[in-house]
Amino acid sequence: MEKQWWHSAVVYQVYPRSFCDSSGDGNGDLRGIISKLAYLEKLGINLIWLSPVYLSPMKDNGYDIADYQAIDPRFGSLNDLRELIATARQHHIGIIMDLVLNHSSDQHHWFQQAKQSLDNPYRDYYIWRDQPNSLRSIFGGPAWNYDATTDQYYFHLFADSQPDLNWENTQVEKEIQQMISWWVAQGVAGFRLDVIDLIGKQIDQGITENGPRLHPLLQQLHQACFANHNLVTVGETWGATPEIAKRYSDPAREELSMVFQFEHAALDWHPQHGKWQTQKFDLVALKRVLSKWQTAFQGDGWNALFWNNHDLPRIVSRWGNDRQYRQRSAKLFATLLHGMQGTPYIYQGEEIGMTNVRFEHLDDYQDIEIKNSYQEKVLEQQSLSHQQFMQGVYASARDNARTPMQWDNLPHAGFSKVQPWLAVNPNYPEVNVSKALQNPHSVFYHYQRLIALRKSADYGEILIYGSFELLLPEHPQVFAYLRRYQQQALLVVTNLSEQAVAVSLDYQIKALILNNLQQDEAQISHLQGLSLAPYQALLYALDTTN
Ligand code: GLC
C-alpha cells in the first residue's frame, strides 16, 4: 500500500465549547485552544479535529450550522481561527474541520428563505412533502415537522431545528463544494464528515443510511475538493460494516481516507432502548468485533481507532474502573488502542483519564438528545421509568464527555473564571492536567509514550503497518494480540478485570516496552505463567530469531 502522511498521525479531538474559556463567558473558545497548543504538542499529537465552531444557535452545540463560513462569536472570529491554524502549524499540528453536511440549522439563511414560499429559489435546498411518512428522528420523535406557512412538512433526521439538506439538488451539492474548497484555501489539514452516510438517502423508500447516491456523491466531493491537496478525511459512519468501510476508504476509489465505524461503540446498547439501557460489558464480543476490523483491510482501507468522542461516554467509566483503578484502566485502554493498526484518535480529557459524571437532576444536563429522548421514552411512550432513564444517562449520555476540560484544581477546574455552560465534573481536584503533568506515572505520560512509540524508528513501522492476530479469543478477562511486520513482532497483553489472572503464552521476550504498573521488571521476564495484576497492560517486543 502506498504510504500516506496520515497513516502515522495521531489525532486529538477538541470539543471547543468545553476545552478552554479565554474570554470569561463560560464557553470555551478559539483563543483558549491557542493557549493550549504547547500542551498538545507536548502530548505529541499531529492533528486537532476541531468540532464545529461555525455560527450556530447551539441547539446541538454547533452541529446545527447557521453559516458554514462564519465563526460563532462565542468562539471568536475568523481571524482567531486563522491564527489557530497558523500557530498550530508552528507546533507541528494541523487542523481538521468538522463538516456537517447532512443538515443545517433552521437559522441558516437557506432555510429561512426556503420556508417562505413553495416557489422560493431555496425551497428545494431542503426536503418537503405534503404528507409525512413513518421515519423517526435519531433524537426521538417523528422525522417531520409541519410548517404552517406553506402547509408542508420538512424532513429532519436530528432535531426539528436541524432540517436535512436535499442532496438530490445539484445546486446544494455545488454550494457545499464551493464552501469546502474555501476551507481548503484557509490551510486546513483535512475534514471530519459528520453522519456522512446519511447524505445518499431516499426518503420515499425509507432509506436513510447507505443510500444509493452516497458513494457517487463522495467521489464527486473528492474530485471537486480533496484531490491534489494531500488532505486527511474521516467520515462518521454509524452503519459501516468492513465491506462498506472499504467502499469509502479504498484509495483506488478516491472517496475518504478512513471512516469511524461504531460496531464496538454500540456493543452494550439495548436492542430496543439503545444507549438508554446498557447491557453487561462482553469482552469476548469486543475482541471479536475489533479483531474483525483489524484484519479487514489489505491495503484497500484504513482504520480510525477510537474509544471516545463527544457523543460517547468516557471509556474508563464505561468498560474500565473509574474508582480504585482509574489511572491503571485508563492506561490499559490507551495501550490496547494505540497498539492497534490504524490512525488513533484521542478525545480531550481522555489523556488524563477523565470520567463520566453523575448529576442529580435531569435539568443539570444540557444535551438535546437527552431531553428529546426523555420526552419520547419516559413521558410519551413510558417505556422507561425516570430512574431507568437516569441510569442510562449516567452510563451513556453524551454530556459525560462534554463536561469542561479539567486543567487544574482552581474553581471551575481552571476551564473558566465563571460558571461554565455545563457543570464541571466534581472530581476535578483529583483528575486534572496540572496534577497529571507533575506525576511521571500519570495517564498523560502513558499516552505520551504510546504516541512517541508510533513515531519511533524502532517500533513505528510495526505499529502502523504490522499485521494483527488476536490471541486467546475466548478468554473472559484477557485481551491480547500480536502485531508482526517483516522480522519484528510486538505483543500486547492486558487484563480487563479486577482479579489477577495467569496466562501462558509461548513467546520469547526481547524487551518489555511498556507496563502500566510500576513493577519490578524481573517479575515479568517470562511469559510462561505470566501473572497479570488487575487491569495490567503490557507491551512487549518479542524475540523472533528462532
Ligand atoms: C453527529 C455528531 C453529533 C451530532 C449529530 C447531528 O453524530 O457527532 O454530535 O449531534 O451528528 O449533527
What are the C-alpha distances in Å from 212 to residues 132, 201, 305, 334, 468? 22, 7, 27, 37, 33
Q: Nearest CA to 465 among 492, 494, 490, 493?
A: 490
Closest C-alpha among 282, 258, 288 to residue 268: 282
Whether 106 is in the pocket of ligand 1, judged by its Cβ within 6 Å, is no
B/e letters for 307-335, b = 16+ CB within 10 Å, e = fewer, are: bbbbbbbbbbbbbbbbeebbbbbbbbbbb
Instruction: Quote the CA–CA distance of 515 and 328 in Å, as a whole number.
Output: 10
Domain with CATH 3.20.20.80 in the chain: 1-61+80-99+303-357+403-455
pLDDT of residue 527: 74
pLDDT in tens, the chain (546 residues): 899 999 999 999 999 999 999 999 999 999 999 999 999 999 999 999 999 999 999 999 999 999 999 999 999 999 999 999 999 999 999 999 999 999 999 999 999 999 999 999 999 999 999 999 999 999 999 999 999 999 999 999 999 999 999 999 999 999 999 999 999 999 999 999 999 999 999 999 999 999 999 999 999 999 999 999 999 999 999 999 999 999 999 999 999 999 999 999 999 999 999 999 999 999 999 999 999 999 999 999 999 999 999 999 999 999 999 999 999 999 999 999 999 999 999 999 999 999 999 999 999 999 999 999 999 999 999 999 999 999 999 999 999 999 999 999 999 999 999 999 999 999 999 999 999 999 999 999 999 999 999 999 999 999 999 999 999 999 999 999 999 999 999 999 999 999 999 999 989 999 999 999 987 655 556 677 899 999 999 999 999 986
Check if 99 has its Cβ closer than 6 Å to any atom of ligand 1: no
C-alpha closest to that of 100 among 55, 143, 155: 55
Under CATH, what is the fold of the domain 109-155?
Oligo-1,6-glucosidase; domain 2 (3.90.400)
For the Cβ of 165 lying below 6 angstroms from any atom of ligand 1, the answer is: no
Phi, psi of 38 (to 5 degrees): -65, -35
Beta-strand runs (E) in 364-505: 467-471, 478-485, 488-495, 501-503
Give alpha helix (H) positions in 237-396: 242-249, 283-294, 315-318, 326-338, 368-374, 386-396
Active-site residues, by number, are: 194, 236
Q: How far is the CA of 310 from the centre of ligand 1 (A)?
A: 9
| Bridge partners (DSSP) listed for residue 136 | 142
CA–CA dist 25, 415 (Å, integer) = 11
* C-beta separation of 172 from 122 below 8 A: no
- One CATH from 2.40.30.10, 3.20.20.80, 3.40.640.10, 1.10.3720.10 for 1-61+80-99+303-357+403-455: 3.20.20.80
DSSP 135-203: -B-TTSSBSEEEETTTTEEEE-SS-TTSPBB-TTSHHHHHHHHHHHHHHHHTT--EEEETTGGGTT-BG
- Distance in Å, CA 63 to ligand 1 centroid: 6
**Residue having the nearest C-alpha atom to atom 2 of ligand 1:** 194
- Ligand 1: which atom is nearest the Cα of residue 157? 6
Residue nearest to atom 6 of ligand 1 (CA): 63
Domain with CATH 3.90.400.10 in the chain: 109-155
Ligand 1 within 6 A of 306 CB?
no
Q: Closest ligand 1 atom, CA of 102?
A: 12
Ligand 1 site-directed mutation target among 50, 51, 54, 60, most atoms within 8 Å of CB: 60
Could you tell me if 126 and 165 are in contact, meaning their C-beta atoms sit under 8 angstroms apart? Answer: yes
Q: Where in the chain is the domain with CATH 2.60.40.1180?
A: 466-542
In degrees and rounded to multiples of 5, residue 131 shows phi and psi of -130, 135
Tell whether ligand 1 has an atom less than 6 A from the beta carbon of residue 158.
yes
Q: Measured from the CB, is residue 194 less than 6 Å from ligand 1? A: yes
> CB of 195 closer than 6 A to ligand 1?
yes
Phi, psi for 360 (deg, rounded to 5): -70, -45
Residue nearest to atom 9 of ligand 1 (CA): 311
Euclidean distance between CA atoms 430 and 406, whole angstroms: 10
Ligand 1: atom nearest CA of 238 is 7
The one-letter amino acid code at 296 reads A
As a three-state string, the secondary structure of 308-326 is: CCCCCCCHHHHCCCCCCCH
Cβ of residue 37 lying under 6 Å from some atom of ligand 1? no
100 lines ligand 1 (CB under 6 A): yes
Select from 3.40.190.10, 3.40.30.10, 3.40.50.2300, 2.60.40.1180 the CATH code of 466-542.
2.60.40.1180
CA neighbor of 242 nearest in space, from 195, 181, 288, 186: 288
Instruction: Write the CB contacts of 213 (distance below 8 Å, at least 6 apart in sequence).
Output: 167, 168, 199, 200, 202
Backbone dihedral angles phi then psi of residue 464, each to the nearest 5 degrees? -85, -45
Contacts of 526 (CB under 8 A, 6+ apart): 509
Confirm whether pTM is higher than 0.95: yes
Closest atom of ligand 1 to CA, residue 369: 10
Task: Give the residue, by CA position, lying nearest to ligand 1 atom 4.
Answer: 63
The alpha carbon of 434 and the centre of ligand 1 are apart by a number of angstroms equal to 31
Residue nearest to atom 7 of ligand 1 (CA): 195
Q: Which amino acid is at 192?
A: R
**Eight-class DSSP state of 473:** T
Biggest CA–CA distance in the chain, Å, is: 78
Q: Does 240 contact ligand 1 (Cβ within 6 A)?
A: no
Report the separation in Å between the CA atom of 77 and the middle of ligand 1, taken as the mean of its atom positions: 23
Distances (CA, A) of 463 to 293, 457, 541: 16, 11, 11
- CA 64 to ligand 1: nearest atom: 12
Ligand 1 centroid to residue 208 C-alpha, Å: 15
E strand residue ranges, 457-500: 467-471, 478-485, 488-495
| One-letter amino acid of 326 | R
Pull the grid cell for residue 434.
496540572
253/531 Cα distance (integer angstroms): 47
- CB of 459 closer than 8 Å to CB of 483: no
Task: Tell me the C-alpha to C-alpha distance, in Å, between residue 58 and each of 52, 157, 246, 251, 374.
Answer: 10, 17, 34, 36, 20
Neighbour-count burial of 130, counting CB atoms closer than 10 A to its CB (0-12 exposed, 13-18 middle, 19+ buried): exposed
